[in-house]
Amino acid sequence: HCPSREDLWVREGKILNPEKLFFDEKGSADIQLDCKDSIIAPGFIDVQINGGFGVDFSLATDDFKSGIDLVSQKILSHGVTSFCPTLVTSPPSLYHQVLPQISIRNGGAHGAGILGAHLEGPFISKEKKGAHPEHCLRTFEEGAFQDLLATYGSLDHVRIVTLAPEMKRSSEVIQELTKRGICVSLGHSVANLSQAEEAVRHGATFITHLFNAMLPFHHRDPGIVGLLTSDKIPAGRRVFYGMISDGIHTNPAALRIAHRAHPKGLVLVTDAIAGLGLAPGRHTLGQQVVEIDGLNTYIAGTKTLSGSVATMDTCVRHFQEATGCSVEAALEAASLHPAQLLGIEHKKGTLNYDTDADFLMLNDALYVQATYIAGEQVWRQDALGM
């Protein structure tokens, strides 16, 4: 997955093997672009973003669709070419209103592609609810999976569900979700390691923002964090884990520990909230009021962290700086790994032939200079220093 290719050939939205063009078709390029020593990398994929630019995906508004359009447009400048709009714990009525309005769609000049929703909650632990409203939390009753269906209304446009695996009957729910091709993530949880391992045996493949909203690592029972080095992961399976690399949610040393223990599983996520890109002050996260103070975001009046206001390109730069990893590794954590997590690495997350031509041009300091989706330039840093 090496990003150092001399040139990149694109046709009809896909990355092209130029040999086919030269030898089979005796063709050549119609348009040539000088990238002036930029780094070319696959587009970033954000699998956990709650909103941004004043838009909160966990609020039912009359113009929800234009809200999602605004966010997908604005994140292009941060190198994000596809994403999973994320809903925090909400009442059933909200899921029923909002989920039908989230359509899975390709990206383009209008904005980043939507891969499906990430439903974070409400089947999570009261002790580790973080910024999620306690009165909306739910457990699995008699019907387990039926309870989940009734809560969400439909799973048609759902890509990821975060739940706490220590909940009674979670195993059957994990199996049912996995069977439907939905990625199950463990998070907001007080699970011990064997509960987490059991969830992985039943099909869970992801950990929601590692270290945040879970039991701290303990040497006798390392909890969910222990999955990074567990020897009970089924053969041929990989556990991925999200990290909010904003310099606030996890100390750089914790970021380094995770990265060194399990580099191939690390997925950078922003966990961005409506206040991303806006001035400090009061904003929302679903049912809660959130206070932004610099890069810190708290539930108003508390010191409970509630999402971040860091952009994906900032997270990539911070991650690279904190871990001292290669530029390739930093870029893969925001592109290849999320694509592998979602099982779409044959289409996105690499610069391999025949994959979607979603790619970025970055300078050596990893600032985004231009964003392309399906071979079309959808954003560039213009002379105005935008």
pLDDT in tens, 139-150: 998 899 999 999
Catalytically annotated residue among 56, 246, 271, 356 = 271
Query: Do the beta carbons of residue 307 and residue 248 sit within 8 Å?
Result: no
Can you give the pLDDT at residue 18? Answer: 82
3-state secondary structure of 93: helix
Is the full-model pTM beyond 0.75? yes
Q: What is the pLDDT of residue 142?
A: 87
Rounded average pLDDT over 68-81: 98
Confidence check: pLDDT of 24 > 70 = no
CATH homologous superfamily for 43-351? Metal-dependent hydrolases (3.20.20.140)
Mind listing the pLDDT tens digit for each residue in 286-296? Answer: 999 999 998 89
Binding residues for substrate: 131, 212-213, 220, 249, 305-307
Written as six digits, the tokens of 248 are 């606030």
Map out the domains of the chain as residue ranges. Answer: 43-351
Residue 28 has pLDDT above 70, yes or no: no
* Structural contact between residues 220 and 378, judged by C-beta atoms closer than 8 angstroms: no
The answer, yes or no, to whether residue 2 has pLDDT greater than 50, is no
Average pLDDT over residues 369-380: 97
Percent residues over pLDDT 70 in the chain: 94
User: Which amino acid, 102?
Assistant: I
Contacts of 320 (CB under 8 A, 6+ apart): 327, 329, 330, 366
Q: What is residue 368's three-state secondary structure?
A: strand
- Cis peptide bond prior to 85, omega within 30° of 0: no
Per-residue pLDDT reduced to its tens digit, 96-120: 999 999 999 999 999 999 999 999 9
- Going by the annotation, the residues of the binding site are 120, 131, 188, 209, 212-213, 220, 249, 305-307
pLDDT in tens, 326-363: 999 999 999 999 999 999 999 999 999 999 999 999 99
Q: What is the rounded average pLDDT for all residues in the chain?
A: 94
Rounded to an integer, what distance in angstroms lies between the CA atom of residue 319 and that of residue 266? 11
Summarize the annotated binding site for Zn(2+) as residue ranges.
120, 188, 209
Predicted confidence band at 240 (pLDDT cuts at 50, 70, 90)?
A: very high
Whether residue 147 lies in the annotated active site = no
SS3 assignment, position 32: coil
Residue 290 has a pLDDT of 96
How many Cα atoms are found within 13 Å in the side-chain-facing hemisphere of 30?
3
Residue 69 sits at φ, ψ, to 5 deg, of: -65, -40
